[in-house]
Amino acid sequence: MEDFTRLIFTTSHDPNGEQISLAKELAHKYNGEFIERKNLKDVLKEDEIYFVVNKNLTIDCKWKDGRLFFHPSVSKIRLNNYLKNGKDYLIESIKPEENDVILDLTFGLGSDALLLGYFCKEVIGIEASFPIYVVVKESLKRYQFKELWLKESSEKIKIYHENYKDFIKRQVDNSYDSVYCDPMFENPQFKSSSMNPLRKFASYDRIDKVDLENMIRISRKRVVVKARVNDSIWNEFKFNYNVGSKKSGVVFGVIEKK
């Protein structure tokens, strides 16, 4: 866990009883402290983050000039497009099947996991950043999805807070059907409004040789790594083939085990 001096849980302004109850529950669960919203400005230090329970019981992480919150992002659009034309580079590379258990090593806001959940049995998500983990884990179970498939997909997801490098070392051989890793790009584009709040908390660890060997070891079918075309990973490791778009500059490298 990152070294935060303290973890503050509060509510939005003029909270109802349910918000207050949940904020206290989360403070206890994560060894933090509950502070009433009306008192927050008196005790909050300038550089501190704090977690906010909203009216709809989702969780935000806020700080002086920013906000991190959960949303299903483009999952709905991507599935609709896939069902119309059969094209999505993530689905094309991972090839999820109905009984598959997929390991997502860099969970983030979970957009990829929600899409994968439509096709597979279960998605195990690993998230190294504690603020991202709390916001997504706690919001995912309370978010009011408008589409039934998104709700059903969210219920197939289990999220754990850990650095994926440590996690994969402990897993036994052939534990997951596919292993997916989408580390922060070496050469990012800062136009993405959905990604920018994550940059404050995200892990920037690069995949090394041991990591990739462990990913291969614990997968039954394949390993998929997402990176930009000009990232160094393509020069460092061999993949069976790549899937992606020259226009977007994003590529999925695939290592097949069968």
Name the domain count of the chain: 2
Alpha-carbon Rg of the chain, whole angstroms? 19
165 found inside a domain: yes
**Residue tagged 């009984």 (tokens):** 99
Domain membership of residue 3 (yes or no) is no
C-beta atoms surrounding 100 within 10 Å: 19
> Looking at the structure, do residues 30 and 87 belong to the same domain, yes or no?
no
User: Domain holding 209: CATH number?
Assistant: 3.40.50.150
Q: Could you tell me if residue 67 is inside a domain?
A: no
Side by side, the strands of the sheet bearing 250-256 are 157-161, 122-127, 101-104, 176-181, 219-228, 250-256, 241-245
What H or E segment, with its residue span, contains residue 77?
helix 75-85
194 and 234 together in one domain: yes
pLDDT at 1: 43
Same domain, 158 and 53: no
pLDDT at 200: 66
Give the Å distances, CA to CA, from 97 to 100, 108, 124, 162: 5, 23, 15, 26
Q: What is the rounded CA–CA span in Å between residue 143 and residue 152?
A: 12
169 belongs to a structural domain: yes
- 49 & 84 share domain: no
Q: Are residues 27 and 138 in the same domain?
A: no
| 140, 48: one domain | no
> In the prediction, which pLDDT does 251 show?
94
pLDDT at residue number 202: 61
- Judgement on whether residues 239 and 121 belong to the same structural domain of the protein: yes
> Cα(212)–Cα(225) distance, rounded to whole angstroms?
9
Kind of pairing between the strands at 50-53 and 33-34: unpaired
DSSP state of 102: E
What is the domain range of residue 18?
A: 8-57
69, part of any domain: no
188 and 128 inside one domain: yes
Q: What is the pLDDT along the chain (258 residues), one digit of tens a residue?
A: 455 678 999 999 999 999 999 999 999 999 999 999 999 999 999 889 999 999 999 999 999 888 999 999 889 999 999 999 989 999 999 999 999 999 999 999 999 999 999 999 999 999 999 999 999 999 999 999 999 999 999 999 999 999 999 999 999 999 999 999 998 756 555 455 555 655 666 666 789 999 999 999 999 999 999 998 888 899 999 999 999 987 888 999 999 997
Q: Which amino acid is at 242?
A: N
Give which of 145, 180, 148 is closest to 253, Cα–Cα: 180
Do 52 and 180 have their domain in common?
A: no
- Same domain, yes or no: 83 and 112: yes
The contacts of residue 152 (CB under 8 Å, 6+ apart) are: 117, 118
Tell me the CA distances in angstroms from 105 to 54, 211, 223, one per residue in order: 28, 11, 11
**Structural domain contains residue 85:** yes
pTM for this prediction: 0.91
Q: Where are the beta strands (DSSP E) in the chain?
A: 8-11, 33-34, 50-53, 59-63, 66-69, 101-104, 122-127, 157-161, 176-181, 219-228, 241-245, 250-256
81 assigned to some structural domain: yes
Does residue 98 sit in the same domain as residue 167? yes
- In-domain check, residue 66: no
Is 95 in the same domain as 18?
no
